[in-house]
Amino acid sequence: MDSDENPILPIRSTSSTLYQNLKSFFSLNSSDASLNEIGWKKASTVILAVLFICGVMALAFSAIIWVVYDELDGGNRNQTTTTTTPSPTPYLKRIVGVYTNNESKDSTNVQLEKLTHALFAFIRMDENGTLYFKNEKSKHRFLSLRNKAMNETADVKLMVSIGGPNNAQFFSGVLKDESRQRKFISSTISFLKQYKVHGVDIFWKWPSESEKYVFSAFIKNLRDNLNPYLLSITVPPAGIEHQTFGFDIDDLVQHVDFLNVYSMDYYGPWMNEWGTPTGPIAPLYSGVKGREEFNLDYTMQYYSSQTRQLDNFNIIIPTFVRLWEQVKDAVEPGRDVYRNVILKDNMTEGDAYMSRRLAEMEGWKLTPLTWDEQSKSSFIYYPDEGTYLTFETERSLKAKMDYLKEKHFGGVWIWTVDMDDENNTVLNFIRDFGYSTDEI
Ligand SMILES: *[C@@H]1O[C@H](CO)[C@@H](O)[C@H](O)[C@H]1NC(C)=O
Ligand SMILES: *[C@@H]1O[C@H](CO)[C@@H](O)[C@H](O)[C@H]1NC(C)=O
Ligand SMILES: *[C@@H]1O[C@H](CO)[C@@H](O)[C@H](O)[C@H]1NC(C)=O
Ligand SMILES: *[C@@H]1O[C@H](CO)[C@@H](O)[C@H](O)[C@H]1NC(C)=O
Ligand SMILES: *[C@@H]1O[C@H](CO)[C@@H](O)[C@H](O)[C@H]1NC(C)=O
Ligand SMILES: *[C@@H]1O[C@H](CO)[C@@H](O)[C@H](O)[C@H]1NC(C)=O
């Protein structure tokens, strides 16, 4: 694709001092729409504080504020029911469904009608910032998804994710070099235009602490050039090494439409430096010794401490089944969900991302399962064979959805829709639960 036909706006220098200057400059300037909104939010916070002190005047004032706030916040919403009986709304703002570029199952219209956003993962970026498809299969799967997403019955926004675990090695070099960063931005815009995609997700796994300013500056450059396209980023779990150190969350949150939190893969059949127990893919709470912070709650508490815009965050929902072989006794007495494994050549054996369809084809039964109350997750252990399976169930999904509702996070991202079973069991549960207007 020819990206030079898209002249891009001047981009910010990625040096940290200039970035800081720009940061302080922009925080005083209110010409930018999104910054305007921050200004407005700051103002409304002050107003609310005053209201709190005034107490008696609170009701009258808040009614007025809501009308004004709604007008600024919604922009294109029609004002019908502002103060009286608001129509019941789903508590999930977003259901983002990820599609891989290599599963064998194709996307379906039925799935897309249940999503707010479909996210194709991943588009690759080369050392010069140019985007490309991994291979023909990837392109074919993308086009098939794109064609279905364009169906009017779907009302879904199609996005592509750039990078990912296996193609993030060039972010550092590309973002630090102004001309390559320009190339990357114009290549992205060309891609979105050419394929009629609604937006892009940036999945850099993960910038280091010294790349924090480069990343923030890049996200602002991209945002400036990307309107009216959507922009999201994928952010790491907290509590593992220094993975969150490259993200200036409170700054980034002002420039993206939402953030996908990769709060999973705390335990898996692979070599790693944190020991080798088995455990849930995405435990809501708890952990084992040395891994007490390896859970969703710890990660989301971290993000809550960084910003107040919690409804911009999506919690990950894994659909796949994770399998280990050579699994032995519990790591700690009474915590049967965390078990030791025997290593072979320093590796644990198993299948880290097995689609539900494949699990079924290979004869794995997903019942009867054992529930672990502390981590709110389910697992199956066959002592004779030494195999261990873990995956989301209605009960673990309900626990996550209740958590999301209680803490006011805005949405979920499903990893991945094409690894769900033929009946879209996980997707359907999320959709029915998230769009239910009943008290649960
Ligand atoms: C608002 O209502 C008017 C009149 O009913 C309609 O033409 C317009 O499309 C609506 N705008 C939005 C954003 O729904
Ligand atoms: C897709 O790619 C990932 C990563 O390379 C791999 O682990 C997985 O097995 C692949 N899935 C299929 C169905 O080929
Ligand atoms: C659009 O979606 C509807 C409902 O799922 C389906 O019947 C129809 O075949 C789709 N059209 C195209 C062109 O895919
Ligand atoms: C990147 O650009 C350099 C200089 O133009 C070129 O030599 C190299 O082949 C390019 N790399 C790719 C992957 O296209
Ligand atoms: C396993 O890891 C240990 C410690 O890192 C190392 O000394 C040993 O060579 C490794 N063995 C194999 C087979 O890779
Ligand atoms: C899908 O639904 C059908 C009909 O209810 C059922 O017979 C089948 O077992 C389900 N498949 C899975 C994998 O749950």
Catalogue all structural domains in the chain, each as residue range(s) with its CATH number.
16-74 (no CATH), 94-319+393-434 (3.20.20.80)
With a Cβ cut-off of 6 Å, ligand 6 is lined by 360, 421-423, 425
Ligand 3 atom nearest the C-alpha of 152 is: 1
Could you report the per-residue pLDDT of 20-41, keeping only the tens digit for each?
544 444 343 333 334 344 445 5
| Residue of minimum CA distance from atom 3 in ligand 5 | 346
> For ligand 5, is residue 345 a contact (CB within 6 Å)?
yes
> In terms of pLDDT, which residue wins out, 178 or 290?
178
How far is the centre of ligand 5, averaged over its atoms, from the C-alpha of 347 (Å)? 10
CB neighbours (10 Å) of residue 37?
15
The answer to whether 338 and 331 have CB atoms below 8 angstroms apart is yes
| Across 30-44, 134-148, 206-220, least confident range | 30-44
Q: What is the dihedral of CA 116, 123, 391, 148, to 10 degrees?
A: 40
Q: Which ligand places an atom closest to the C-alpha of 183?
A: 4
How far is the centre of ligand 6, averaged over its atoms, from the C-alpha of 353 (Å)? 21
pLDDT of residue 348: 86
Q: pTM for this structure?
A: 0.81
pLDDT of residue 435: 77
pLDDT of residue 23: 46
Q: Which ligand places an atom closest to the C-alpha of 420?
A: 6
How far is 435 from 95, CA to CA, in rounded Å?
Answer: 10
Enumerate the β-bridge partners of residue 330. 339
> For ligand 3, is residue 151 a contact (CB within 6 Å)?
yes
Closest by alpha carbon to 397, among 371, 375, 377?
Answer: 377
| Across 198-212, 274-288, 401-415, least confident range | 274-288
> In terms of pLDDT, which residue wins out, 68 or 380?
380
Best residue for ligand 2 mutational test, from 98, 99, 102 (most atoms within 8 Å of Cβ): 102
Best residue for ligand 6 mutational test, from 423, 425, 428, 429 (most atoms within 8 Å of Cβ): 423
Report the mean per-residue pLDDT for the chain. Answer: 86
Mean pLDDT over 90-98 rounds to: 91
Measured CA distances, 95 to 123, 351, 430 (Å): 21, 27, 8
Could you report the per-residue pLDDT of 5-18, keeping only the tens digit for each?
566 777 787 665 44
Mean pLDDT over 39-59 rounds to: 60
AA letter at 130: T
